[in-house]
């Protein structure tokens, strides 16, 4: 019986305890996975930030384009108003000249 107890104790110690740190061959793949995961997260966050900045810049550019189009439209309307007023002034001058006894 004492032999069985000795055999069990030897077997327990030889199998290794669960409290010991993992052996280096197991630690290295996990370390490499952690490095890859961290690097991958950084790349994804940089891509997300870049996309967000591009969206913001394109919105601002779109707003600038809309403002420029609005100014252009307003300028055309003002030009048309001046042309209409000019034409009306010329017509009134012609009417006045025709009515003037000569």
Please state the length of the chain.
102
Average pLDDT, the chain: 80
Check residues 68 and 5 and name the one with the higher pLDDT. 68
Give the pLDDT confidence score for residue 96 in this predicted structure: 84
Rg from Cα positions in the chain: 44
Give the pLDDT confidence score for residue 46 in this predicted structure: 93
**pLDDT at 42 exceeding the cut of 70:** yes
pLDDT band (50, 70, 90) for residue 4: low
**pLDDT at 101 exceeding the cut of 80:** no
d(CA 56, CA 59): 5
CA distance readout (Å), 98 to 31, 88, 101: 100, 15, 8
The pLDDT of 38-47, averaged and rounded, is 92
Which of 7-16, 42-51, 58-67, 88-97 has the largest mean confidence? 42-51
CB contact set of 21 (below 8 Å; sequence gap of 6+) = 27
CA 80, chain centre distance (Å): 42
């Amino acid at each position: 019986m004492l032999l069985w107890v000795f055999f069990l104790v030897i077997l327990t110690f030889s199998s290794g305890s669960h409290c010991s740190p993992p052996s280096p061959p197991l630690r290295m793949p996990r370390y490499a996975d952690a490095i890859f995961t961290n690097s991958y997260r950084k790349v994804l966050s940089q891509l997300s930030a870049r996309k967000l900045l591009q969206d913001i810049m394109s919105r601002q550019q779109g707003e600038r384009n809309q403002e420029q189009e609005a100014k252009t439209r307003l300028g055309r309307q003002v030009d048309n108003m001046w042309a209409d007023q000019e034409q009306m002034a010329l017509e009134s001058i012609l009417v006045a000249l025709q009515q003037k006894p000569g």
